[in-house]
Structure 1
């Protein structure tokens, strides 16, 4: 008679993934956003792991959660394991004949920088489909099945990154408004347009050029940079332009930079590739994007 006793079971994979994300990102809410679940689901997963091990992994505090010493000791092993799993899945995906190239892009970069280049990219890669996902935060290419990410952010200096352009900011507006702006102090009294994501742009620029604008924090805010730019083109006010995003409008005369004061944000338009799984089409796409700057 065969003997088939029940085998001991480990915790669910989703619970382990929830612990790793919460520990790496420093909280349940951030982990929930990355994994597209609710913070309550993350909390339940963590509690199930703590019940299974009989040890606390997080300290619950009124201001949030904090890793215990035991949780901190476990984190590097789980992070490496999930990174390796992601790379293995990517290598598995590369074995097939899938010809779709998935690009994760900051919305403003997708609308203002990438979109004008898409026709040429499609023409050069007739056998491949280019799929665009607009995201507010760069994905983890060790985990997620994107082939490229393209974001305005601080470079990390890894081999997977290419800096396509440094991020410089300067005021831009329609030609009519530009006629009355000859020096930074002339901006006083003008409506200043603000992007909600880069809310500190005006303060950063004024500090760098040594200019004080009494109403510098006032003015309309926009959650879409492309919409703020359209308002600037229509004469609604002066926008703090990210040069890499407004360069096309400047070239066409739709916007004007009335002041020469360019200020670096310390960021750049960064193109990032995964560590493994690069195909011929992907290499061609990367080369074209680098040449298009």
Structure 2
């Protein structure tokens, strides 16, 4: 009677995924951020994989982790395998829902630049469903299921809008500002992600002003506080254009600073082999 040989158990997929991300990104915290889990979960998965293998994949030290020779040898194959798996998953989703377009962007861009443009996109292509995910940094498009990325960048993608810096405030607040030095007497609002904005703009003024005021975790909140007369905000041109056009904000000073980055649109792959993402990209590139 034929005897089937015993089948070796498969290595745990989640553990392999955690190891690959930690090895590629250089740490458990970065892997956790990409995978959407806690660093403790990544640590547990890697320990599980090492236990199953009976071999170490990382050397733990006071300054972090380093790959062992074994870990370094297997990483390229695992990265290629997970990239291929992600690509296959993206293709499945795309062909299952060919009229859905998923955009990743910054929270401020989603609220202040992209949202006002959605009605025109829906009117032009009512059959296309557009979904938006707000995040603080561009995703790994080889792994994430996004069709388009919309982020400030110095070089990647199609330029949708240049990024100019200049102070903005409500008209009543502007009446109190005659000189740049007057900024020392009013609240200067700051976005937590762009803390350097005030220093960059003031560097070109030659004025020793130390801006003081509250820091906001969301740019849209800081912008609303400026509209309500709560202080002066360093405006990013693409994000404050509508408020300036409607007169809710004004520019108290003429000086503006062009940043090396710009608001750019890109995709890391052909636009899903369908026309939906290409049409949305075309609509976003069209001048208003």
Scaled by the length of structure 2, what TM-score is found? 0.91
Contact 2:187 2:213 in 1 (8 A): yes
SS where residue 95 of structure 1 aligns?
helix
Structure-2 residue corresponding to 1:179: 175
Q: 2:275 aligns with which of 280, 290, 293?
A: 280
Q: Is the 8 A contact 2:102 2:133 kept in 1?
A: yes
For 1:22 and 1:211, the matched residues in 2 are separated by 46
| Mapping 1:23-34, distance limit 5 Å | 23-34=23-34
Is residue 258 of structure 1 aligned with residue 244 of structure 2? Answer: no
Structure 2 residue matching 1:92: 3-state secondary structure? helix
RMSD: 2.0
Hey, what does 1:136 align to over in structure 2? 136
- Seen in structure 2, the aligned counterparts of structure 1 residues 125 and 32 have a Cα distance that, compared at 3 Å, is same
Matches of 1:240 and 1:17 in 2, distance apart? 41
CA contact (8 A) 2:192 2:216 kept: yes
Q: What secondary structure does 1:275 align onto?
A: coil
In the TM superposition, residue 97 of structure 1 has moved relative to its aligned partner by 4.4
CA contact (8 A) 1:197 1:223 kept: yes
Deviation at 1:285, TM superposition (A): 0.6
After superposition, the C-alpha distances for 1:67-92 in whole angstroms (9 at most, x for unaligned) are: 34443444333223222222222223
Q: How does 1:9-158 map to 2 (within 5 A)?
A: 9-152=9-152, 154-157=153-156
Structure 1: 5+ residue stretches without partners: none
TM-score (norm 1): 0.89
Check 1:231–1:17 CA distance in 2 against 1; reply closer, same or farther (3 A cut).
Answer: same
Number of aligned residues: 287
CA shift for structure 1 position 96: 2.8
Cα separation, 1, equivalents of 2:122 and 2:221: 26
Deviation of 1:182 after TM superposition, in Å, equals 4.1
1:204 aligns with 2:215: no
Q: Which of 215, 220, 224 in structure 2 is aligned with 1:226?
A: 220
